[in-house]
Structure 1
């Protein structure tokens, strides 16, 4: 089970990305949900070592994101549902936050947010497209998700959050700015990796405890 479930997650993700055809859409959606269902099972079976209700909140966030995967073909519905999923991740990461935000990380996240706003959201707003407001709100939420992940000091949560940001950035640029070759793989590989790492962060010893052991 220890290695079997991660292997199944990886295989099902690769099958979806590389093999499953775009039509029929119903089958495409079903295949897309399988890796997420397995990731939720993986999270549910991991021993919870992070503080408080971290495991429960992360698992709920994963489930909400799985719903978002199913409704993303209706873009606004998917965007709103993913935003809700990120709010659960933020709530979990805030409970586990044990470190101040490093200045360099804060500057880099801020620069990313400004760059994506200029590249994606502001052009939509300049055209009078109210979707720009929704995109800007989503960017702020995912930035907060990355910010709170960094403050946990949990490398799995941090890498998962950064990969999620990467996946969403590719998707946004491809949809609103210019087409990106190989978009599906560039979106879905970091996306599934992000969700898996966030799930795996449940069993990671809190950074503050690691520091205490190192000093002992």
Structure 2
């Protein structure tokens, strides 16, 4: 995809995303899921059409992860099904990020991720277990472990876009989980979807950035 086409494509992604986020209440009920997945469909096309050199595996795994996340968007109305789809999407991101190893994870980042993960597990999964939903509690624990692993492996790519994207995804998932299982949060729809779409777009754009990183290393 050429630079001008890419910029136009990104503009449409942003416009459709902002429309779904801030004009949600004005969208007909029968069309809400359609408008929810349109930005993701455009992001998938953007990711799949990036011209790269030597990182086809990374690109393919990211695209598959995006597809499963889009399925998760649609099926989140059946929460466990949507959660499972997102979980699979995260796993493909982990495979993609793990196929690279351009830098080590700083000690401070390891500590932050570990402390954050334990805190979220106690707070969110603890609330679910307390309500007597054991299976859901186990699923939430597994999900927390997977998203933190995604964040860990994203840092190792050396790609700023992949790292920020993964951290935004963690933020989006955390806000959603707290809002659903612990207590209602203000502007939950806006914050969850804004961080979510931003995360997915940055992860998609990391394909080209990682290609440039690899090209410099091989020169």
Give the aligned CA root-mean-square deviation in angstroms: 1.7
For 1:50 and 1:82, the matched residues in 2 are separated by 27
Cα deviation, residue 109, structure 1: 0.5
The one-character-per-residue Cα deviations of 1:131-152 (angstroms, maximum 9, x if unpaired) are 1111111000001110100111
Question: Do 2:57 and 2:96's aligned partners in 1 also have CA atoms closer than 8 Å?
Answer: yes
Instruction: Rate the CA distance shift 1:52–1:97 in 2: closer, same or farther, 3 A.
Output: farther
Q: Which runs of 5+ in 1 are unaligned?
A: none
- Does residue 129 of structure 2 align to residue 120 of structure 1? no
Runs of 4+ in 1 over 6 A off after TM superposition: none
The one-character-per-residue Cα deviations of 1:4-44 (angstroms, maximum 9, x if unpaired) are 00000000001111113377543100000100010011111
Name the structure 1 match of 2:171: 166
Name the structure 2 match of 1:44: 48
Question: Do 1:21 and 1:28's aligned partners in 2 also have CA atoms closer than 8 Å?
Answer: no
For 1:4 and 1:20, the matched residues in 2 are separated by 23
For 1:86 and 1:78, the matched residues in 2 are separated by 12
Question: Do 2:6 and 2:46's aligned partners in 1 also have CA atoms closer than 8 Å?
Answer: no
SS, match of residue 101 in structure 2: coil
1:185 alignment partner, one of 190, 204, 207 = 190
Q: How does 1:150-161 map to 2 (within 5 A)?
A: 150-161=155-166
Name the structure 2 match of 1:194: 199
Name the structure 2 match of 1:57: 61
For 2:34 and 2:167, the matched residues in 1 are separated by 26
Instruction: Rate the CA distance shift 1:45–1:204 in 2: closer, same or farther, 3 A.
Output: same
For 1:48 and 1:31, the matched residues in 2 are separated by 30
Cα deviation, residue 129, structure 1: 1.6
2:77 alignment partner, one of 73, 77, 81 = 73
Cα deviation, residue 193, structure 1: 0.3
SS, match of residue 24 in structure 2: coil
Q: Which runs of 5+ in 2 are unaligned?
A: none
TM-score by length of 1: 0.93
For 2:214 and 2:157, the matched residues in 1 are separated by 9
Instruction: Rate the CA distance shift 1:49–1:116 in 2: closer, same or farther, 3 A.
Output: farther
SS, match of residue 120 in structure 1: helix
Instruction: Rate the CA distance shift 1:13–1:98 in 2: closer, same or farther, 3 A.
Output: same
For 2:216 and 2:148, the matched residues in 1 are separated by 26
For 2:106 and 2:36, the matched residues in 1 are separated by 36
- Does residue 16 of structure 2 align to residue 6 of structure 1? no
- Does residue 112 of structure 2 align to residue 108 of structure 1? yes
